[in-house]
Structure 1
Amino acid sequence: MIGLPQSTEFNKRIPKQKFYENLTVSATLKQSFVDQIKTIYWRNKIAASTVNIAEGNDVEEIEIFEIKLTGESIDEGILRQMDKEIPYHILFLLEYEGKYQAWIGYKEEAQSGSVAFKVNSYYHTDWLQTDDLPVQMEGLSIDAVYENFVRQIAGDSLKVTNQESLKESVDRDNRRQQLQKQIDKLQQKVRKEKQLNKQIELNNELKKLRKELVEL
């Protein structure tokens, strides 16, 4: 799939029960697995042993999972649970009625605790034909391939500025989303506020947040 070398093909079906038999998984998430997923296939493994590129310092392998859905939406918790259970980086290809979405999380090593990785942000494409997915294996190391996958799928959200690292791009995008939420809440407060002096105060705060958003 997505034009990957034949040497990366794995094509192993994984029972979805594997991911929700864990006692710590909530009943709601278990039901999401049951209701939203038909099948899960481990399609490819990108590693120094399967492609002729250098090993990564941060990314050991990238697994390609194809998930056939019962509908157009998925509980993001499903992907988080799979990312939690698999100690490698994962590119998800979701399929529904012949169209695909590519999903990937910015997955970094956890600083503490028993979890090997943590995922702070997920990015995904629109529903597209397989050939139209903006996903290509590019880079001279596994680290570079992973970074390019994330940037390709995220699109303008992680557009590179000043040669920043992937982590810096993700942090900047997270800050942008936080600012937009703050702006939306403040706008609602302004519309409801009756006192003129309070309106002026809120609008001044809005200007500051909008200025920071533009500068990002």
Structure 2
Amino acid sequence: MTDILYRWPEAARFGKRVPKEKVYEHGTVSSAVREKFINEVQRITWAYKLAEATMNLPGTPAVPEIQVFTIHAKTDEVSDAVLGAIDKAIPFPIIFEITRRSAEQPETRTVAAHKQLGAGAPKTSAYYSTGWHSGNTWRRALPAAITLPALYAALLQPLTPITARPGEEMSEVADRLATVRKLEREVAALEHKLRTEPQFNRKVELRRTLKTKQHELEQQR
């Protein structure tokens, strides 16, 4: 994972405030998630529209445009449930920038999930994130790309804790990362059982299973 912030092109600036109620209207938002919106979110801004008209890059049905949303947080964090509700309400891939104040100095982090559009509701992966950056952090130019799908993949890749393999699509990276996280949980659970298991025969069996899972984990990383 590379901790970077991008310098979004001025030609793509949109700058439209999004009322929370609009998110509620366009998706099924539970009362618990609405409460998170109230407690965590100060303001939502539709900051940039990366589209063929603004970027001169062709899109596809899978990635017709890329939206950049800025979320000004009331607290130190904005939960994935809030991001998920916005992702479900907007039928385009989204890159989120979350801003907060820390000791009077604004900080920003980039968050996104890989979003797959289709006939039904969009399918999103787990959320990936950079660390927090101070407000005066230098922003890097956007990665070179010849299409919007290529740009989307290039924006997502630095957020993920694993590296895409040659020829691997971002949807495959997302699936592999989900497998990695599942195996990490299984390895942690087996290590805990191994430490607390009193029976020798059972320890041998657990150790064998643990080595198998650790090997599977290394193969996926």
TM-score, scaled to structure 2:
0.88
> CA shift at 1:173, angstroms?
1.4
1:49 partner SS: helix
Which consecutive residues of structure 2, in runs of 5 or more, have no partner in the other structure? none
Match of 1:176 among 171, 180, 183: 180
- Give CA deviations for 1:148-167 in whole Å, capped at 9, x if unaligned: 1110222xx23122332212
**Contact 2:91/2:117 (8 A) holds in 1:** no
Query: What's 1:109 paired with?
Result: 117
Question: Is the 1:47–1:142 Cα contact (8 Å) retained in structure 2?
Answer: yes
State the structure with bigger RCO (CA 8 A, min sep 6), 1 or 2: 2
Q: Which residue of 7, 10, 35 corresponds with 1:6? A: 10
Gaps of 5+ in 1: none
Provide the C-alpha distance between the structure 2 equivalents of 1:196 and 1:59, rounded to a whole number of angstroms. Answer: 55
Change (3 A) 1:132 1:23: closer
Distance 1:46 1:70, change over 3 A: same
Cα shift at 1:120: 2.0
Partner secondary structure for residue 7 of structure 2? coil
Aligned twin of 1:126: 131
Deviation readout 1:54-110 (Å, 9 max, x if unpaired): 223520011111100012211211111000000111110000011101011110134
Contact 1:134/1:153 (8 A) holds in 2: no
Q: Percent identity?
A: 27
Q: What is the TM-score of this pair, normalised by structure 1?
A: 0.90
Cα separation, 1, equivalents of 2:71 and 2:201 = 54
Say whether 1:213 aligns with 2:217.
yes
* In 2: Cα distance, 1:9 partner to 1:22 partner: 23
Q: Distance in 2 between matches of 1:121 and 1:12?
A: 26
The offset of 1:132, in angstroms, is 4.5
CA shift in 2, pair 1:171/1:148, >3 Å: same
Aligned to 2:107: 99
CA contact (8 A) 1:103 1:122 kept: yes
**Equivalences, count:** 211
> Shift of the alpha carbon at 1:135?
7.4
CA contact (8 A) 2:27 2:85 kept: no
CA RMSD of aligned residues (A): 2.0
- What are the within-5 Å matches in structure 2 for residues 33-48 of structure 1? 33-48=37-52
